[in-house]
């Protein structure tokens, strides 16, 4: 299993200073940081830090109005940030960063997710997630003490820590273009909505 890189404030400052808002710049930063720390820092890891730091795109610097912030606070507990980004004509990064700034909760209830939310985070369908639950590679429990049914009378309960364990153990199963990268970085780091989960 690949060891997670532990980011330092100095490395984040290098990203903040040298990121040119291009894919080539991300790749270049990954190479520089890998050589500097003697560890493998991937382009995806750099992209995750860029998202967390809120410096993704220059053209996304349009200020949020008070009305937009109120709407975001209403939408963020109900919808995936990707959906909200389309609804509000904002980038995914802008939605995630602004939700943090206003303290709006992102689809997390005391440290757990529903199966639908896990599908959104991992960018997969419910059958894909169900196969991992059935094989015990993804730990899940019944939310109402009875196995969920097709008619949706009950829900799966997947703890944030168990989802993080799955991501660390089976990273090769995920498609980087489909995942909610910011949420995955937060899960791996053990931080959700500014709170430590481990």
Which helix (DSSP H) or strand (DSSP E) does residue 36 occupy? helix 23-37
Taking alpha carbons only, the member of 61, 123, 48, 46 closest to residue 98 is: 61
Q: 159 - beta bridge partners? A: 112
**Residue 109 confidence (pLDDT):** 54
pLDDT exceeds 50 at position 197 = no
**Residue 105 confidence (pLDDT):** 64
pLDDT exceeds 80 at position 50 = yes
Lowest mean pLDDT among 46-50, 59-63, 158-162: 59-63
Distance from C-alpha of 100 to C-alpha of 193, rounded to nearest angstrom: 7
Of the chain, the percentage scoring pLDDT greater than 90 comes to 19
**Residue 139 confidence (pLDDT):** 94
Query: What average pLDDT does the segment 148-176 reach?
Result: 80
Q: CATH number of the domain at 112-181, please?
A: 1.10.1660
The alpha carbon of residue 79 and the mean position of all alpha carbons in its chain are separated, in whole angstroms, by 14
Q: If you ran DSSP here, which 8-state letter would residue 79 be given?
A: S
pLDDT exceeds 70 at position 49 = yes
């Amino acid at each position: 299993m690949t060891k997670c890189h532990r980011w330092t404030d100095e490395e984040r400052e290098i990203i903040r200073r040298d990121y040119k808002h291009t894919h080539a710049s991300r790749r270049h930063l990954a190479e520089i940081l890998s050589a500097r720390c003697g560890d493998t820092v991937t382009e995806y890891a750099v992209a995750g830090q860029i998202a967390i730091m809120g410096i993704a795109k220059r053209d996304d610097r349009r200020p949020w109005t008070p009305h937009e912030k109120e709407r975001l606070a209403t939408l963020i507990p109900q919808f995936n940030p990707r959906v909200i980004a389309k609804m509000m004509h904002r980038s995914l990064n802008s939605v995630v960063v602004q939700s943090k700034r206003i303290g709006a909760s992102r689809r997390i209830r005391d440290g757990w997710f529903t199966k639908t939310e896990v599908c959104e985070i991992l960018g997969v369908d419910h059958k894909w997630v169900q196969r991992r639950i059935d094989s015990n590679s993804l730990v899940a429990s019944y939310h109402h003490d009875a196995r969920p049914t097709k008619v949706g009378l009950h829900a799966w309960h997947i703890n944030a820590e168990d989802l993080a364990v799955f991501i660390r153990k089976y990273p090769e199963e995920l498609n980087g273009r489909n995942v909610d990268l910011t949420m995955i970085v937060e899960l791996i780091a053990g931080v959700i909505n500014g709170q430590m989960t481990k």
